[in-house]
Amino acid sequence: MLGETIGRIPIRIIQAMVRGLASLGVPPNILTLVGVTINVLCGVLFGMGEFFWAGIVLLIANIFDMLDGNVARLTGSVTRFGSFLDSSLDRLSDMVAFLGIMVFYAGNTPQHSIVNVILAGTAMIGSVMVSYTTARSESLGVKANVGFLQRPERIVLLIIGALSTWDWSSDFVLFNRMPQVLWVLAIGSIWTMIHRMYFIWAELRRLEEAPTEK
């Protein structure tokens, strides 16, 4: 009961924000643009090594990511372009965060690590490909939301890695976990991509082999 009550609190806050923005007549596309702008700031903070604050900003950005679609549905202003814009800028938001991480670990700092640069780059490629395979498969009539590391999980992992990194000099076991998070993101994203591609292949083959009605 306590867990359900706690879980309802953020949902009610989001709902209140949605109703307030809808009553003010704020266009959903503006919320989408604000969200991606905040995500760009997140990427800049990652690049500067301010991982903790990047995690905070990433949390705020994803609140906007939840707002735009809900406002559009509440106000009856759902459009195909709005859906396209939201999906496209989500990919940009994903890439800019990983780019910032790559810039930081590639820099001339005590945390310099080519391995982490490669992991972040692999995670970025995998993340984009996971989203692309889904979008492409839907255009072919297959819905492929399979795999254990989808976008919400990737964002949660990034936030965990970022918020744990606020004292570079600390050796505490729970601090500075971004390298471990990057391993999970890199391997998980590529595995999810492969899983989806196999699933799409199987579904398309099934559809092609299915007898057509005459």
Name the domain count of the chain.
1
The residue with tokens 């709902």 is: 15
Q: Residues 98-113: what's their mean pLDDT?
A: 93
Q: Are 14 and 66 in contact (CB under 8 A)?
A: yes
Return d(Cα 25, Cα 4) in angstroms, integer: 32
pLDDT at 102 > cutoff 90: yes
Residue 136 lies in a domain: yes
pLDDT at 213: 52
Nearest one of 205, 186, 200 to 134, comparing CA atoms: 200
Structure tokens at 124: 């970025």
Judge whether 104 and 46 are in contact, CB under 8 Å.
yes
Rg over alpha carbons for the chain, rounded to the nearest Å, is 19
Asked whether residue 126 is assigned to any structural domain, the reply reads yes
Tell me if 154 is assigned to some domain: yes
From residue 112, alpha-carbon distances to 104, 121, 144, 158 in Å are 7, 15, 37, 19
The answer, yes or no, to whether residue 158 has pLDDT greater than 60, is yes
Examine the pLDDT at 6 and tell me if it is beyond 70: no
The model's pTM: 0.84
Q: Is the pLDDT of residue 108 over 70?
A: yes
**Least confident window among 46-50, 121-125, 171-175:** 171-175
Backbone phi, psi, residue 29, to 5°: -65, -30
Query: 117 pLDDT band (50/70/90 cuts)?
Result: very high
Domain assignment present for residue 214? The answer is no
Residue 208 carries which side chain, given as an amino acid letter?
A: E
Full domain range(s) for residue 122: 2-209
At 114, list the tokens: 């080519």
Q: What is the CATH number of the domain that holds 48?
A: 1.20.120.1760
| Percentages of the chain per state (helix, strand, coil), in multiples of 5 | 80, 0, 20
pLDDT value at residue 109? 86
Structural domain contains residue 124: yes
Mean pLDDT (the chain, rounded) = 85
Residue at 56 is within a domain: yes
Spatial separation of the C-alpha atoms in residues 21 and 4, rounded to whole Å: 26
